[in-house]
Amino acid sequence: RLISEPQVKKGHNGQIGLYFGEVARVADVESSLAPLASLPKLPKKDVVVKFEPDMKRRLEMSAFAKACADGAKPGDGSVACCGDRAFPVARSDTALVIIDMQTDFLTKEGRVGQHYQDSPVCSGMAGVKRCLAAARAAGLTIAHSRSHRYGASVRDDLVGTSDVGYELHPECAALPGEIVVDKWTF
């Protein structure tokens, strides 16, 4: 499957984005982002997180999503993708999102990983580390998520306790200033 255009009105994957793991080779991501590392640093933005309904922000995001449906705008660079496609990358509005790279999922000793002794639970780790290094060097926003869900149960007892298994795997852990989101589902 190739997913390199905005995914509009497509259920769970309705968010706009490029799923590098499905459409781009790690080496292409690295070589595409490398020139961005030499560009001047972007000014830091003050991030304000608001959870109450904000109609102005909702309308801005709706307009942005609709504009993306007409095609991606040019970026500071682009990532070569499978199928002779390219995805523009603008450091001002492109993020690398790393999902659920937690120790419990990625090690054979982990609460989940222990049930997958015969599978290569860390098979994607090298690629994630390489993409993460390239995105950091390019100055992209980096966001990590951690899942509270372990099979059918939600483990809210692990949040904020520095539980080693719940934490991001040390090889791809968040650096100061990177976003970490705790989520309740997969």
Q: Which residue has the higher pLDDT, 106 or 34?
A: 34
Q: Which of 82-91, 93-102, 115-124 has the highest mean pLDDT?
A: 93-102
* pLDDT for the residue 49: 61
* Residue 132 pLDDT class (50, 70, 90 cuts): very high
28-64 CB burial, b ≥16 within 10 A, e <16:
bbbebbeebeeeeeeeeeeeeeeeeeeeeeeeeeeee
| CB-based contacts of 37, cutoff 8 Å, min separation 6 | 137, 138, 139
* Residue 50 pLDDT class (50, 70, 90 cuts): low
* Distance, CA of 164 to CA of 141 (rounded, Å): 25
Give the gyration radius of the chain's Cα atoms. Answer: 18
Parallel/antiparallel/unpaired status of strands 95-99 and 141-147: parallel
- The beta-carbon contacts of 10-18 under 8 Å, at least 24 apart in sequence, are 16/65, 16/68, 17/97, 18/79, 18/81, 18/87
Parallel/antiparallel/unpaired status of strands 95-99 and 153-154: unpaired
Residue 175 has pLDDT above 90, yes or no: yes
Identify the weakest region by mean pLDDT among 14-18, 106-110, 141-145, 160-164.
14-18
pLDDT > 70 fraction of the chain, expressed in percent and rounded = 73
Residue 117 has pLDDT above 60, yes or no: yes
* Distance, CA of 148 to CA of 16 (rounded, Å): 24
Residue 165 has pLDDT above 90, yes or no: no
- What's the N-to-C CA distance of the chain in angstroms? 21
Torsion angle of the four alpha carbons 121, 102, 28, 36, in this order, in degrees rounded to the nearest 10 = -160
Residue 174 has pLDDT above 90, yes or no: yes
Residue 16, both tokens: 């706009």
pLDDT > 90 fraction of the chain, expressed in percent and rounded = 12
Q: Which residue has the higher pLDDT, 1 or 56?
A: 56
Q: Which residue has the higher pLDDT, 180 or 117?
A: 180
* pLDDT for the residue 3: 37
Q: Which residue has the higher pLDDT, 17 or 107?
A: 107
* Residue 106 pLDDT class (50, 70, 90 cuts): confident
* Distance, CA of 114 to CA of 81 (rounded, Å): 34
Residue 10 has pLDDT above 50, yes or no: no
* pLDDT for the residue 107: 84
* Distance, CA of 11 to CA of 2 (rounded, Å): 16
